[in-house]
Amino acid sequence: MVKSFKKITVNKTKIADYIYVAKNFFSGAEVAAEYEYWNAAGVLIVHSAIAYADAVSIKYGGVKSKGDDHQNVVNLIDSLVANSEEKKKALIHLSKIITHKNIVSYSGNIYGKKDIEKLWKYLERFVFWSEKLIKS
């Protein structure tokens, strides 16, 4: 069965804009964490990862995921980027980050330093992989 994804076409010249946004969220998360605004840091980490994921999918397919289910971006990248052990690990990290999107934003759960340290670890690993792909 062929997986279908809600997606929209995006001109590849927009990759730099998505990277800018991703880095902006990343920097915002650093500032929020510095001031111990843990939930704010978590939200910004999630959005940084999503923006990096969009940049990867635009580079490799000229498309980005569209819709409410952000896990679809994981499947979209999986369908666009050649298989490798690095890709597998990166998509696991991305999926773990996205799992936190609704929890950190809307559930009323209070995030702490340890929660954010875990999300940072996932984000840093995903960003390293994403930037390597985007530059190649």
Report which of 62, 97, 84, 98 is spatially closest to residue 129, judged by C-alpha positions.
Answer: 84
pTM for the model stands at: 0.94
103, 99, 102, 96: which is closest to 123 by C-alpha? 96
Residue 5 has pLDDT above 80, yes or no: no
Length of the chain: 136
Half-sphere exposure of 52 (CA within 13 A, CB side): 32
Where do the domains of the chain lie?
A: 7-135
| 7-135 placed in CATH 3.40.50.970 | no
Q: Which tens digits make up the pLDDT trace of 36-51?
A: 999 999 999 999 999 9
Give dist(CA 80, CA 21) in Å, integer: 22
Confidence of residue 3 (pLDDT cuts 50, 70, 90): low
